[in-house]
Amino acid sequence: MFERVGRLAVRHFVLVVLGWAALLGGLKMAAPPLREALTFDDAAFLSDSAESIRAARTLSEAWPDDTFGDSAAVVIERRSGRLTPADLDWMAGLEAWMAGPEGPEVIQFTQSIRSRPELARALLSKDGRATLLLAAVRTPPFEPPTNEAVAAIRAHIEATRPAGLGVFLTGQSAVGADEHAAISDSVSKTTVITLVLIILILLFIYRSPVAPLVPLVTIGVALGVAQGAIALLAQAGMKVSSLVEMFMVVIIFGAGTDYCLFVISRFREDVSRSREYRATLVSTFAVVGAVIASSASTVIVGFLSQGAGHFGMFRSTGPAMAIAISVTLLAGLTLTPALMRAFGRMLFWPAHPERLPTPLDAAAEEGVA
């Protein structure tokens, strides 16, 4: 079976490359960005029977107009002494902006010692150096409208804050926005670091600027296709944890590089003993294809077993990663040999040129075909 797959990929390498490019482009246009389709709130993965979820449902039924936990708190302090009347005037202006038409639309109501003097004992410190400005948020933490509101409030504070006054935004909404930003930053850094390390490792192994392009293109296409497929599933209603994006980068880059190294290394050994490039490429895949398929199948089964977990995050993360590995395996079995056929004798340039085969003559080409 793997010999037939390899032969088709080698013979029709142009169609294979174009097919993967079309699939990647189609998913990029049809699917939303993966990061926008992910679920960042871990509480969303809890079952309806969880005690915290039942308690939140009871609160929302009893007080439908109030928010519990979906809040923001502005901490205002002056370490050099008591808050001045000018500081409190600025806080009142900030409160008016947050609750007014120019402020974030998701702000439901605000509370401070200016708007609710009866709450002074709860909102003002005993030494008069610090006070709280509370805001109820209509949308849950981690959601894009909430994150945008947090960013807008912080920008307004930074632009208008009086000198010497410490102003900090916290609360569930702010913590969720910071966590979202931290996860996004971690994914970006992980991607860059992983890519750089893989490039350095491949350059060290092959001593060629061309050979590393095969695994890099294969991995890049597999990652893009997997992200698009999972984004479509998330858009259709499947809850996918924000951790999937980071795991996907590490798993696909690691597994994809591994699969390509198996193929390219075995092919380099085989082709050094043969003068027939295409025939050797096909025979290599007849052997290595089964190896990488069995390796990927083990990982896929392992990830699918997470679908039996009670926690919703595990139930969604496992199948999502199984999809990612399946796409990587399919790319390794089809796109990798197609790219190797496309590069031809330039694949290992300039390392050991004397060991590479000469181009096939017409008779050999016809024989393989």
Looking up residue 362, the CATH number of its domain turns out to be 1.20.1640.10
What does the alpha-carbon distance between residue 200 and residue 204 come to, in Å, rounded to a whole number? Answer: 6
Q: What is the pLDDT of residues 39-79, one digit of tens each?
A: 665 655 555 566 655 676 676 676 666 654 568 899 999 98
If asked whether residues 220 and 297 sit together in one domain, one would say yes
**Cα–Cα distance measured from residue 251 to residue 248, given in angstroms and rounded to the nearest whole number:** 5
% of the chain residues with pLDDT over 70: 82
Pick 7 or 133 by higher pLDDT: 133
Mean pLDDT across the chain: 81
In a domain, 342, yes or no: yes
Between the CA of residue 327 and those of 30, 125, 163, 193, 255, what are the distances in Å?
18, 58, 55, 22, 11
Answer yes or no: is 294 within a domain.
yes
Cα Dmax for the chain: 95
Query: Is the model more confident about 92 or about 183?
Result: 92
Residues 65 and 214 in one domain: no
8 Å CB contact between 253 and 334: no
> What residue spans of the chain are helical by DSSP H?
2-11, 13-30, 34-37, 51-62, 85-99, 120-123, 144-160, 172-206, 213-235, 243-271, 277-304, 312-343, 362-368
Top pLDDT among 216 and 7 is at 216
Q: What is the DSSP string of 206-244?
A: H--SSTTHHHHHHHHHHHHHHHHHHHHHHHTT---BTHH
Give the up-direction half-sphere exposure of residue 177: CA atoms within 13 A in the CB hemisphere: 22
What contacts 189, CB < 8 A, 6 or more positions away? none
The answer to whether residue 363 sits within a structural domain is yes
Question: pLDDT at residue 22 above 90?
Answer: yes
In this structure, the answer to whether residues 152 and 79 fall within a common structural domain is yes
Token reading at 13: 């390498």
Max avg pLDDT among 117-121, 181-185, 195-199: 117-121
Please check whether residues 217 and 250 belong to one and the same domain.
Answer: yes
- The whole-angstrom separation of Cα 351 and Cα 359 is 17
Average pLDDT, stretch 18-37?
87
- Does residue 250 belong to any structural domain of this protein? yes
More confident position, 224 or 264: 224
Position 368 scores a pLDDT of: 42
Tell me how many degrees the CA angle 337-360-280 measures, rounded to the nearest 5: 40
pTM of the model: 0.69
Whether residue 169 sits in one domain with residue 126: yes
Of 131, 155, 175, at which residue does a domain stop?
Answer: 175
* 218-230: average pLDDT: 92
Integer Cα distance of 54 and 342 in angstroms: 59
Q: What is the pLDDT of residues 292-319, one digit of tens each?
A: 888 899 999 988 887 776 666 667 788 8
Q: Counting Cβ atoms within 10 Å, is residue 9 exposed (0-12), middle (13-18) or buried (19+)?
A: buried
Residue 271 lies in a domain: yes
Domain count, the chain: 2
Whether residues 224 and 360 fall in one domain: yes
What does the pLDDT look like over 235-258, one tens digit per residue? Answer: 887 777 777 887 888 889 888 888
Q: Are residues 25 and 125 in the same domain?
A: no
Domain boundary among 135, 152, 175: 175
Sheet holding 130-137, edge to edge: 107-111, 130-137, 71-77, 166-170
Q: Do 337 and 233 share a structural domain?
A: yes
3-state secondary structure of 38: coil
Residues 337-364 pLDDT 10s? 888 888 877 777 765 544 544 433 333 4
Last residue of a domain, one of 127, 157, 175: 175
Residue 92 scores a pLDDT above 90: yes
Identify whether residues 235 and 362 lie together within a single domain: yes
Is 159 contained in some domain? yes
Whole-angstrom Cα distance, residue 348 to residue 277?
13
The answer to whether residues 274 and 359 belong to one domain is yes
pLDDT in tens, 170-179: 988 898 889 8
216 and 81 housed in the same domain: no
Whole-number pLDDT of residue 313: 66
Owning domain of residue 146: 51-175
What pLDDT does 248 receive? 86
Q: Is the peptide bond before 104 cis (omega within 30 degrees of 0)?
A: no
Identify whether 291 is part of a domain: yes
- Span of 183-197, 268-282, 328-342 with lowest mean pLDDT: 268-282
164 and 220, same domain (yes or no): no
**What single-letter amino acid sits at 181?**
A
Q: Do the domain assignments include residue 43?
A: no
pLDDT at 365: 42
Which is higher by pLDDT, 320 or 184? 320
For residue 151, what is the domain's CATH number? 3.30.70
